[in-house]
Amino acid sequence: MKRFVLVVFLSLLRLFSHAQTTDNDTLIAGSQKDNFVTVSLLLASPGQSIYSVFGHCGLRLQCPSRHLDYVYTFEMEDGLSGYLKFFIGQAKAGFAAVRTSDYLSLYRKEGRGVTAYVINLKPHEEQELWRMLDNDMVEGPHRKYNLIKNQCLSMSLLMIESILDREYIDFHRLPSIMYTYPNGKLLRFYSRKSPWATFVFMSFGGSEADGHWEDEYRMCPETMPFILRHARIVATYQHTSRPLLKGQPTVLVPTLMTLKSSWLTPTLFFGILLALTLCLTFLQFTGRFGRFAHGYDVCLFGIQSVIGILLLYVTLVTNLFGLHWNWYLIPFNPLPLVLWLAFRHKKWYMRVYSFYLLVLIIFIPLMFVCTEQADVAHALFISLFAVRLLAYVIQHRQQTVRI
C-alpha cells in the first residue's frame, strides 16, 4: 500500500510540476481543458452481506493523458482490530485509492452493477479534488467512522462540495419517501430485500428511527440516480447555477446478481420459536420437560442479558449510531440479571419477576404507538420472555399455595 501511495504521489507530482507560461495558472499545458481530468461518482448496486445491502459508492478520477485512472473509496480500517474498534466506537476511516480495473473486477465477480455519473466540475476544481483525495489517502484512516454521517456516500459528496468556491450542491428535488418517511420507515425501505439486516438495524435504531436526518444523511445509492439528475451546483452570490452532472450515466458493470431474501425471515423465525415456547410451557404444566424448560429459560434470559449489555454499551458509550435512547432497552437490559444475582434468595424477589412481566405485557402493544422502531419480529421476540415469565410466576404461586 505504501508503495502504491508513493507511485500515485509521484505521478501527480509530475502531472502538476511542469509549469507553462502559456497557461493562466501553474499547471501543465492542456490542464485547462475540460477532458484533462474527469471526475465521476460511481454507484454500486446492493450486495448480499449485511454491510452492503445499501450499495456502495466511490469517486473515479481519470487523467487519460497521464494514464491515471483510480477510484477513491471511503473505507473503514480493515482487519480484526478494525472490527473491534468499530464495536467500541473508535473505528477510523479514510479514502483509499484502487485502480479502476481492479475496483470494477471486484464488483463484476459479485455480479453487482456499477454506474458512472460524470460530475460537472471546472478543470481547476477537478484537479483540486484529486489533490485533496490524495492528501486524505496519505493520512490513512483518520476520520471517526459513523454509520450515519461518515460513510461512503456522504463523504464523497462532502469532498466534492468542499472544493467548490462560493458554491454549493443543491439537491432541490428528492424522492417523496425522503421527506415523508421518518428514518425508521426509510431504513426499512432501503433494506427491504434483506429482512435480517432490517432486523439488526432496527434493533440498534433507537429514537433515531423517529427522527429526520439531514438530506445528505438520508440518501442512498438506490435514490441517487433521481437525485443526481435534478441536482445543481449553485453560486452563493451570483445566483447562477449549473447541472451537477455532465452527460448521461454510463453502466460500467451490468447488474447480474439478484438479491434473494431468505425464506426464514425474522418474523417467521420468532413466530415458530414462540409457538414452540408455548408448546413447551404447556408440556411443563403437565409435568413433563421440566429440566429442559429450566435450561431453555437459562439460555433465553442469558441472551436477554447479553443483548441488554450490548444495547447499553452501544447507546450510552460508543454513540456508534448517533443514539440518545433505544426503546428496546426497556425489555432488554441487564437489570433483571443483576437483581437475580443480588436478591434471588429473598422472599420478595418474585415481585421483581411480576413487575418485569407487567412491563413486557404493556410494552409490546405500546411500542407500536410510540416509535417507528417497533415491528412484528421484535414483538414476537419479546413475547418469548413474557410467556416464560408468566409460566414461572404461575408455577411459583402454585407451589406457594401447596405449601
* Rounded CA separation 235/250 (Å): 27
What is the rounded distance in angstroms from the CA atom of residue 328 to the CA atom of residue 315? 11
Q: Which of 323, 61, 301 is nearest to 211 (CA)?
A: 323
Grid cell of 131 as nine digits? 489533490
Q: Is 110 exposed, middle or buried (0-12, 13-18, 19+ CB in 10 A)?
A: middle
- Give the model's confidence band at 250: pLDDT under 50 very low, under 70 low, under 90 confident, else very high: very high
- CA of 140: how far to CAs of 78, 102, 125, 218, in Å? 12, 20, 23, 26
pLDDT at 14: 44
Using the predicted structure, report yes or no on whether residue 401 has a pLDDT greater than 80: no
- Strands 241-243 and 232-235, by their bridges, are antiparallel
Q: Is the pLDDT of residue 1 over 60?
A: no
Work out the number of other CB atoms within 10 angstroms of the CB of residue 114. 26
Work out the percent of the chain whose per-residue pLDDT is above 70: 86
Of 14 and 262, which is predicted with more confidence? 262
d(CA 39, CA 161): 13
- Give the Cα separation of 337 and 350 in Å (integer): 13
Q: Of the given ranges (17-26, 63-72, 348-357), which has the lowest mean pLDDT?
A: 17-26
| Position 12 pLDDT exceeds 60 | no
pLDDT at 24: 36
Question: Which of 49-53, 274-278, 389-393 is least confident?
Answer: 49-53
Average pLDDT over residues 242-253: 96
The rounded distance, in Å, linking the Cα atoms of 308 and 199 is 16
What pLDDT band is residue 72 in, cutting at 50, 70 and 90? Answer: very high
Mean pLDDT score of the chain: 86
Cα–Cα distance for residue pair 353/356, rounded to 1 Å:
5
Mean local confidence (pLDDT), 35-43: 94
Residue recorded with cell 450490548: 310
Instruction: Provide the H-helix boundaries in 113-163.
Output: 123-139, 152-162
**Domains (range + CATH), the chain:** 2-171+219-253 (3.90.1720), 266-402 (no CATH)
Lowest mean pLDDT among 79-88, 90-99, 166-175, 247-256: 79-88
Mean local confidence (pLDDT), 373-395: 94
Residue 20 banded pLDDT, cuts 50, 70, 90? very low
Better-predicted residue by pLDDT, 34 or 369: 369
List Cβ neighbours of 208 (8 Å cut-off, separation of 6 or more): 148, 183, 184, 321, 322, 323, 324
Question: What is the rounded average pLDDT of the residues 294-311?
Answer: 92
CA distance 38 to 118: 7
Q: What is the grid cell recorded at 192?
A: 427491504
pLDDT at 11 over 90: no
Per-residue pLDDT tens for 283-293? 999 988 989 99
Per-residue pLDDT band for 190 (boundaries 50, 70, 90) equals very high
132: pLDDT strictly greater than 80 = yes
Q: Is pLDDT at 15 greater than 60 in this prediction?
A: no
pLDDT digits (tens, 9 = 90+) for 331-377: 999 988 888 888 888 888 888 889 999 999 999 999 999 999 999 99
Residue 112 half-sphere exposure toward CB, CA atoms < 13 A? 23
> Residue 2: pLDDT band by 50, 70, 90 thresholds?
very low
Q: Work out the number of other CB atoms within 10 angstroms of the CB of residue 121.
A: 22
Please, which pLDDT band fits residue 79 given cuts at 50, 70 and 90? low
pLDDT of residue 88: 66
pLDDT of 279 > 70? The answer is yes
373 versus 147: the higher-pLDDT residue is 373
Q: Is 369 helix (H, G, I), strand (E, B) or coil?
A: helix
Give the model's confidence band at 149: pLDDT under 50 very low, under 70 low, under 90 confident, else very high.
confident
- Give me the sign of the Cα torsion angle 359, 361, 366, 367: positive
For residues 240-262, average pLDDT: 92
Q: Give the model's confidence band at 116: pLDDT under 50 very low, under 70 low, under 90 confident, else very high.
A: very high
Whole-angstrom CA distances from 293 to 271, 300, 387, 389 are 18, 10, 12, 12
Which three cell numbers, joined as nine digits, stand for 65? 493523458
Query: What pLDDT is recorded for position 360?
Result: 96
